[in-house]
């Protein structure tokens, strides 16, 4: 896609204004067809369907001076070449970073608040039914933001768990663009016939520049998990306590571990 934009720029002197305009619109159509199922609508708008595109699209057959139209197309193509090139570079870096071995898992906010164990004490092997495989925990930025909001909760337990979880993550991730080690591998149980545990690493999944979140936070988390699954080239397991979130995840084709909570005693009859 980036190469096609570059080719159009190289041919700009050989193409008449209307020919370049038509070739640009065809490039956009091809880019949309290629990307519509790979990235979100907002990211597609940022990369390809920009405001200038809609202006240029409406200019077909307009009375605008041909040279002026050509200048506008060239300016837009130069901008798209830079934007697409940068996005491709960031995508390649992300794919390389997630080429690590192991099981990938994503927590929603409910796990940090409702799990009986705090983050550093969770038995990931038991939770995910794995043995010595490394586990890589992904935390979407929207979950960090939700925890930040819960620091002001009126519920004392919720408030404390949110603050504690954020403090742990802040300590582990001084550079939020890099993954960190949450727990070392433990092979000592093998000596007594027990189950070894692989290392656990953690990473915050930052929002891409100019990313527009989905209006429903649970939908945004599922969308982030689906995107991560494509880039990592392996299944992502979403862990949640919430039934609605579990249904959303399974409907999107994700593996989902829903942690059950005992319902407690039924209410006394009135």
Residue 211 confidence (pLDDT): 80
> Domains of the chain (ranges plus CATH)?
1-96 (no CATH), 101-258 (3.40.50.1010)
- Whether 4 shows a pLDDT value over 60: the answer reads no
**Residue range 94-118, pLDDT digits in tens:** 777 888 889 999 999 999 999 999 9
Q: Is the pLDDT reported for residue 15 higher than 80?
A: no
pLDDT attached to residue 16: 80
* Mean pLDDT over each residue of the chain, to the nearest integer: 86
Q: pLDDT tens across 57-72, in order?
A: 887 666 566 778 888 8
Please give, one letter per residue, the 3-state secondary structure of the chain. Answer: CHHHHHHHHHCCCCCCHHHHHHHHHHHHHHHHHHHCCCCCHHHHHHHCCCHHHHHHHHCCCCCCCHHHHHHHHHHHHHHHHHHHHHHHHHHHHHHHHCCCCCEEEEECHHHHHHCCCCHHHCCHHHHHCCCCCCEEEEEEHHHHHHHHHHCCCCCHHHHHHHHHHHHHHHHHCCCCCCCEEEECCECHHHHHCCCCECCEEEEEECCCCCCCCCCCHHHHHHHHHHHHHHHHCCCEEEEECCHHHHHHHHHCCCEEEECCCCCCCCCCCC
Q: Which tens digits make up the pLDDT trace of 133-158? A: 999 999 999 999 999 999 999 999 99
């Amino acid at each position: 896609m980036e190469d096609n934009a570059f080719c159009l720029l190289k041919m700009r002197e050989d193409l008449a204004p209307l020919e370049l305009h038509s070739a640009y619109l065809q490039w956009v159509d091809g880019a949309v067809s290629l990307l519509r199922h790979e990235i979100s609508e907002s990211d597609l708008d940022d990369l390809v369907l920009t405001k200038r595109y809609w202006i240029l699209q409406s200019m077909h057959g307009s009375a605008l001076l041909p040279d002026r139209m050509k200048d506008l197309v060239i300016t837009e193509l130069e901008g798209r070449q830079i934007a697409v090139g940068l996005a491709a570079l960031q995508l390649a870096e992300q794919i390389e970073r997630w080429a690590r071995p192991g099981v990938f898992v994503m927590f929603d906010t409910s796990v940090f608040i409702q799990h009986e164990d705090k983050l550093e004490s969770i038995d990931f092997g038991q939770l995910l039914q794995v043995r010595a495989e490394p586990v890589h925990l992904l935390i979407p930025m929207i979950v960090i933001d939700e925890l930040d909001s819960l620091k002001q909760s009126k519920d004392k337990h919720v408030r404390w768990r949110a603050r504690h979880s954020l403090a742990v993550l802040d300590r582990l991730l001084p550079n939020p663009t890099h993954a960190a080690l949450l727990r070392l591998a433990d092979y000592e149980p093998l000596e007594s016939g027990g189950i070894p545990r692989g290392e656990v690493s953690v990473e915050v999944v930052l929002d891409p520049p100019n990313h527009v979140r989905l209006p429903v936070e649970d939908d945004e988390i599922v969308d982030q998990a689906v995107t991560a699954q494509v880039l990592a080239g392996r299944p992502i397991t979403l862990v949640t306590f919430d039934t609605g979130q579990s249904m959303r995840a399974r409907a999107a084709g994700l593996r989902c571990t829903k942690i059950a909570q005992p319902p407690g005693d039924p209410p006394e009859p009135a």
